[in-house]
């Protein structure tokens, strides 16, 4: 058996598991409106693009902690992580129910998240959420 393949697979698995853990923490922090956890996970140059508008890190965290964005329910499934060096791309399917500045939203979304390994470790840099018909 060629051990180099096994070693490479284990080396790739550790960052993948870490990104999956950050993803879980981020989802829970949104529901709990936990600004400190969101701040720790999200990069300073973070951007979120979704059906209503795009937000930077400060605006997104302010929306969550102020109650402008209330996540009533989020169920994430079909999570996949692909590594590209110091970049990880996570894709998933979300069933969500949320309220954004008085507008009730409910439905299925395809989500793409980009994590980058930086000085502070892995950080969430970009999210794009697209509604599914």
In tens, the pLDDT along 29-70 reads 999 999 999 999 999 999 998 766 668 999 999 999 999 999
pLDDT averaged over every residue in the chain? 88
The continuous run of DSSP H or E covering 122 comes out as strand 121-131
Question: Is 65 buried (19+), middle (13-18) or exposed (0-12) by CB count in 10 A?
Answer: middle
Predicted pLDDT of residue 38: 97
List of residues 6+ apart from 98 with CB closer than 8 A: 69, 70, 71, 72, 73, 74, 104, 105, 106
pLDDT band at 13 (very low <50, low <70, confident <90, very high): low
Predicted TM-score of the model (pTM)? 0.85
Domains annotated for the chain, with CATH where assigned, are 3-131 (3.10.450.50)
The continuous run of DSSP H or E covering 112 comes out as strand 103-118
Task: Compute the distance between CA of residue 48 and CA of residue 34 in angstroms, rounded to an integer.
Answer: 17
């Amino acid at each position: 058996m060629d051990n180099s393949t096994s070693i490479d697979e284990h080396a790739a698995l550790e960052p993948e598991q870490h990104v999956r853990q950050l993803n879980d923490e981020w989802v829970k922090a949104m529901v709990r409106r936990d600004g400190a956890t969101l701040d720790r996970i999200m990069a300073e140059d973070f951007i979120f693009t979704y059906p209503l508008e795009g937000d930077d890190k400060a605006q997104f965290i302010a929306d969550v902690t102020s109650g402008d964005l209330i996540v009533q329910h989020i169920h994430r499934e079909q999570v996949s992580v692909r590594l590209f060096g110091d970049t990880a791309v996570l894709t998933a399917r979300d069933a969500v129910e949320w309220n954004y500045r008085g507008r009730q939203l409910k439905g299925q979304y395809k989500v793409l998240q980009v994590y980058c390994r930086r000085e502070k470790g892995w950080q969430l840099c970009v999210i794009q959420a697209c509604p599914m018909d």
